[in-house]
Amino acid sequence: MSMLKEFREFALKGNVMDLAVGVIIGAAFGKIVDSAVKDVIMPIVSFIMRGQVDFSNQYWVLAGNVAPGASLAEAQKVGTVLAWGSFATVLINFVILALIIFWMVRAMNKLKREAPPAAPAAPPEEVVLLREIRDALKK
């Protein structure tokens, strides 16, 4: 079998297309969650904390001479910094994404209805005849 024919069979399988659609939708969904965290949740957290909190620009200086109030990018150029704010933002994104996926899976499971139990199939005609013969012999 030629490699081209084998690749065509692989690419035309339904699973490959489903996977491609899932990856594309997942990337778009990731952007939605990122925007929700950055544009909706973080302003609410900032309001609750009574200040302008921007986790994505928070860091601790480990080494170097970093000016107070410098942005994360400036601090990374000057010294070694631990960017805990970026990690916190990514962690919040993950938790929100996991919650949404959990709710989606839960909703899908509720939509799936259990199939009614199948009626027992009628035994083949030979089995019925053999049972009749057995019952007649017992008499």
Q: What is the pLDDT of residues 8-57, one digit of tens each?
A: 877 777 677 788 888 898 888 888 877 887 788 778 877 887 776 667 77
Average of per-residue pLDDT values in the chain = 81
Q: State the greatest distance between any 2 C-alpha atoms of the chain, in Å, as a whole number.
A: 105
Would you call 52 helix, strand, or coil by DSSP? Answer: coil
pLDDT given for residue 134 in this prediction: 94
Question: 27 with 83, same domain?
Answer: no
Domain that holds residue 92: 54-139
Average pLDDT for residues 79-88, to the nearest whole number?
A: 81
Instruction: Report strand pairing: 80-82 vs 60-63.
Output: antiparallel
Q: How many CB atoms lie within 10 A of CB 62?
A: 10
pLDDT higher than threshold 80 for residue 88 = yes
Same-domain pairing of 133 and 98: yes
pLDDT surpassing 80 at residue 123: yes
How many domains does the chain contain in total?
Answer: 2
Average pLDDT over residues 97-121: 79
- Same domain, yes or no: 43 and 67: no
- 3-class DSSP state of 128: helix
**Would residue 38 be called left, alpha or beta, if left means φ above 0 and alpha means ψ between -120 and 50 degrees?**
alpha
Q: CA dist 11 to 6, 16, 21, 55, 137, Å?
A: 9, 6, 13, 43, 62
For residue 65, is pLDDT > 70?
A: yes
